[in-house]
Amino acid sequence: MAGETAGQGGAGSANDRQITGAKVIVCSPGRNFVTLKIETKSGVTGLGDATLNGRELAVVAYLEEHVIPNLIGRDAGRIEDIWQFLYRGAYWRRGPVTMSAIAAVDTALWDIKAKMAGMPLVDLLGGRSREGVLVYGHANGKDIEGTLDEVLRYKEMGYRAIRAQSGVPGLEKAYGVSKDRMFYEPAGSELPDTESWDTRAYLNFLPKLFDRLRDKLGFEIALLHDGHHRMTPQEAARLGKSLEPYDLFWLEDATPAENQEAFRLIRQHTTTPLAVGEVFNTVHDCRELIQNQLIDYIRTTVVHAGGITHLRRIAHLAELYQVRTGSHGATDLSPVCMGAALHFDTWVPNFGIQEYMRHTDLTDEVFPHDYRFEDGYLIAGLTPGHGVTIDEDLAAKHPYDPKQLPVARLRDGTLWNW
């Protein structure tokens, strides 16, 4: 770009920072991941996660057709300007596909900038606010005793916070209960499976699960639960109230949050902490929730909420209203997202907790990384950048495998929120 000299866009010269190429790597080491790799003239490259579970190829097309051609020749150091170009310049703003594509670019550019500055991403963001990032794991079972066994197993593994999801009597399937004990992969078929749902059965059952868990565990371990968008506000209020004796760390996705006002009704009835936001893509999806303190934790992520640049804006707004971060971290967010998220989590002042569903060993081989689990925390590494790379040869051995998320229907056949 005309008139640029070293220092205007960060480490290295503008020439070094010039974007010379970018490519999308799609792979499926057990599940699908979409990764954007940006190359600069200096040879320094950066990675961003662009995985949108069940809609992966939409983001691939968006990146390849509408984003990458606009990146070539730009200064990789101008992260904000590129973000604004991709957001405002798109005209059709917001939404999961657009914001996941922008997120991948943004994450890769932050990775490049930190590498060129020779520092771990957390230092570029402002330095460590904590040594380790408190994480929660996913324990689930087909019934109360099965779930209790899994919660105890996660406690043995060193987790200090554990999400508990159980099968519900009378229902063939329930959200969050996996066939494979460690790795819950809901996108299990090329076209959506149909799962049946009965909210009343769930509402009458769940307090019994947490009563048993607290009776066995006591109150030291933080317990979480994901309602996964299934309840009406009034039903969520009833559940939150019934769970108060069990001191949950949070009740997540209590009701669909397109209508942010719905949380006011839940808030009036219960002190159970509320978390929401894994499906949000910009600050506009959660502004009223945060400003009216209708929630306690915001679940937005690096990969689905516009990258580090936008997630930082959401966290700053949340900080003003004493809302803490609690980023989504399911297995359908790649290790690239987890790596960047951990640097963000280690810096962000109003940190709450980080979801950590653990990836399979094969996924970790495709995405070598320097973060590690220790005594209930994840510790971000000291490698310059976000600390995650990709083994492209190994990735190429695991091609895309079309999968979609399930749908849910009530007993009368009504299509419901999965």
Residue 3, both tokens: 């008139």
How far is the C-alpha of 247 from the C-alpha of 130, rounded, in Å?
25
Helix (H, G, I), strand (E, B) or coil at 344: helix
* DSSP tag of 130: -
Helix (H, G, I), strand (E, B) or coil at 59: helix
Give residue 289's identity as a one-letter amino acid code: L
Helix (H, G, I), strand (E, B) or coil at 189: strand
From the list 36-44, 284-292, 326-334, 359-367, the region that binds ligand CS2 by CB under 6 A is 326-334
Residue 111 binds: one of ligand CS2, Mg ion, none (C-beta under 5 to 8 A by kind): none
Q: Are 23 and 72 in contact (CB under 8 A)?
A: no
Site membership for Mg ion, residue 16 (CB under 5 A): no
Q: Which of 332, 339, 367, 378 is close enough to bind ligand CS2 by CB under 6 A?
A: 332
> Out of 154, 159, 225, 228, which one is annotated catalytic?
228
- The sign of the torsion formed by the CA atoms of 185, 38, 342, 299 equals negative
- Give me the residues paired with residue 22 across strands: 38
Our CB check for ligand CS2 shows the closer of 29 and 384 to be: 29
Site membership for Mg ion, residue 355 (CB under 5 A): no
Q: Are 37 and 22 in contact (CB under 8 A)?
A: yes
Our CB check for ligand CS2 shows the closer of 235 and 332 to be: 332
Element (H, E) at 64: none
Footprint on residues 259-278 left by ligand CS2 (CB under 6 A): 278
Give least dist CB 52 to ligand CS2, A: 9
Footprint on residues 345-364 left by ligand CS2 (CB under 6 A): 355
How far is the C-alpha of 12 from the C-alpha of 173, rounded, in Å?
54
> Which residues have CB under 8 Å from 343's CB, separation 6+?
120, 121, 122, 125, 380, 386, 387
- Give me the residues paired with residue 166 across strands: 141
- Give me the residues paired with residue 139 across strands: 164
- Give me the residues paired with residue 106 across strands: none
> Which residues have CB under 8 Å from 265's CB, separation 6+?
233, 234, 237
Residue 330 binds: one of Mg ion, ligand CS2, none (C-beta under 5 to 8 A by kind): ligand CS2
Site membership for ligand CS2, residue 186 (CB under 6 A): yes
How far is the C-alpha of 204 from the C-alpha of 169, rounded, in Å?
10
How many Cα atoms sit within 13 Å of 78 on the Cβ side?
A: 20
Site membership for ligand CS2, residue 300 (CB under 6 A): no
Give least dist CB 384 to ligand CS2, A: 29
Site membership for ligand CS2, residue 16 (CB under 6 A): no
The residue written with tokens 């019994």 in the block is 208
User: Nearest-CB residue to Mg ion?
Assistant: 226
Footprint on residues 112-141 left by ligand CS2 (CB under 6 A): none
The 269-308 site mask, x for binding Mg ion (CB under 5 A), equals ---------x------------------------------
Q: Which of 56, 226, 296, 345 is close enough to bind ligand CS2 by CB under 6 A?
A: 226
The answer to whether residue 356 is catalytic is: no
How far is the C-alpha of 182 from the C-alpha of 258, rounded, in Å?
31
The backbone torsions φ and ψ at residue 384, rounded to the nearest 5 degrees and listed phi first, read: -55, 135
From the list 98-106, 191-199, 313-321, 325-333, the region that binds ligand CS2 by CB under 6 A is 325-333
Residue 226, both tokens: 């994901």
The answer to whether residue 284 is catalytic is: no
> Out of 175, 184, 297, 371, which one is annotated catalytic?
175
Our CB check for ligand CS2 shows the closer of 85 and 373 to be: 373
Q: Which of 35, 53, 301, 325 is close enough to bind ligand CS2 by CB under 6 A?
A: 53
Site membership for Mg ion, residue 226 (CB under 5 A): yes
Our CB check for ligand CS2 shows the closer of 301 and 389 to be: 301
Give least dist CB 229 to Mg ion, A: 8
Site membership for ligand CS2, residue 230 (CB under 6 A): no
Tell me which residues touch ligand CS2 (CB under 6 A). Answer: 53, 186, 226, 228, 278, 328, 330, 332, 355, 405
What are the catalytic residues?
Answer: 175, 228
Q: List interacting residues with Mg ion (CB under 5 A).
A: 226, 278
